[in-house]
Amino acid sequence: MGDFVFLKVSPWKKVLRFGHKGKLSPRFIGPYRIVKRVGLIAYQLELLPELDRIHDVFYVSMLRRYSSDPTHVSLVEKVEVRPDLTFEEESIQILDRDVKFLRRKSIPLVKVLWRNHSSDEAT
């Protein structure tokens, strides 16, 4: 109790956003203080108010020991989560249009800029 751990967030990558999309999203966030041990292999963490909709007890495989280093701190950005644990991406602007030609058909392509993302993250 009282030690700090990182929390694994990669299983939530389609539900929550922690700064980046897809492969570049962080695997662990934190550090968070262990409040108490629950059962044999579960721990209750002291989470930030931004994560108040997430249950605070985690299985030991979701945690990684934190060794004190200021460069390890990953701040949780504004997390927009609905009560059903989903979020919505909103498009702002169409940046480019193109057509990809295959052997027997053509596929129209559109490059879209999304809200809360930079132009480098346009898809």
pLDDT tens digits, one per residue of 50-108: 888 888 999 999 998 887 766 655 555 554 666 776 767 778 888 899 999 999 999 99
Distance CA 32, CA 9 (A): 13
Q: What angle do CA 81, 14, 123 make, to 5 degrees?
A: 105
In tens, the pLDDT along 54-64 reads 889 999 999 98
- Does the global pTM surpass 0.75? no
Question: Mean pLDDT, to the nearest integer, of 113-123?
Answer: 80
Distance CA 65, CA 80 (A): 27
Place of tokens 């930030």: 48
Distance CA 58, CA 7 (A): 9
